[in-house]
Amino acid sequence: MTEERLAVVTGGMGGLGETISTKMADAGYKVVVTYSPSNTKWKQWLEDMRGRGYAFAAFPVDVTDYDDCAAKCERIHKECGPISILVNNAGITRDMTFKKMTKTDWDAVMRTNLDSCFNMTKQVMDGMIERGWGRVINVSSVNGQKGAFGQTNYSAAKAGIHGFTKALALEVAKKGVTVNTISPGYIGTKMVTAIPKEILDSKILPQIPIGRLGKPDEVAGLIIYLCSEEAAFVTGANISINGGQHMY
């Protein structure tokens, strides 16, 4: 049945988002990716993906803007079909100490990382309930669980995501719709692997009992499981995938 189900991955052109999108396509889902309207490289990304055998549909969506989310989700529905799976993956950082953090820095992260979950999920939930089947997976972070120096905005937004997950999961549990959070630790995306090796070796890897960065494929595999029929009894959960960095 997966070939009949449409998945939307927000931030689907980013490091982790790209792997989520490709692995979901490999698993038989029809995948639509959204990208920031400020992304000037989207055409090249789609061309690169076509070269790898992935014919994704892609839509520019400002996930901080409710009206834009509504308009684009309606367009996706008309052009691609009903949305059965939503992966709220879009996110940004504006890291600095609280002393230096401005209201603009706070608002940017809260709107992109937390408000986006409402803005996108609101557009698809009624349809999922009407069809009696749906999956919402919200991508949080280990730092939403344990906090992180210089990330009061990011940690607050990522912690808020799971509160959103739990409350919504209760409301739709009997409707065939599950809502879950995943909380990755340090994953070997381009952004993380660009960190100088001495910093990785001395500051980051010692925090991870497994002794390595997570693989994007591992995160994508967890999402694919949560989309499956076998995961129908999992809802309102926050699944950590952090190599033992934080056990909660």
**81-95, 111-125, 180-194, range with the lowest pLDDT:** 180-194
Q: How many other CB atoms are there within 10 angstroms of residue 56's CB atom?
A: 19
Average pLDDT, integer, range 196-225? 95
Catalytic residue among 29, 35, 154, 186: 154
Residue range 22-52, pLDDT digits in tens: 999 999 999 999 999 999 999 999 999 999 9
Q: Is the pLDDT of residue 3 over 60?
A: no
244 pLDDT band (50/70/90 cuts)? very high
Better pLDDT: 15 or 167: 167
pLDDT of 13 reads: 96
Q: What average pLDDT does the structure give for the chain? A: 96
Q: Which residues contact 87 (CB under 8 A, 6 or more apart)?
A: 7, 8, 9, 10, 20, 24, 137, 139, 223
pTM: 0.96
Percent of the chain at pLDDT exceeding 90: 93
CA 191 → CA 92, 93, 194, distances in Å?
12, 12, 5
Average pLDDT, integer, range 100-127? 98
Average pLDDT, integer, range 154-163? 98
Average pLDDT, integer, range 191-207? 90
**4-8, 99-103, 192-196, 236-240, range with the lowest pLDDT:** 192-196
CATH number of 2-239: 3.40.50.720
pLDDT of 119 reads: 98
Q: Is the pLDDT of residue 2 over 50?
A: no
Better pLDDT: 168 or 15: 168
Q: Residue type for 97, please?
A: T
Average pLDDT, integer, range 1-5? 61
Percent of the chain at pLDDT exceeding 70: 99
pLDDT of 1 reads: 44
133 pLDDT band (50/70/90 cuts)? very high
Query: Among this protein's residues, is 154 annotated catalytic?
Result: yes
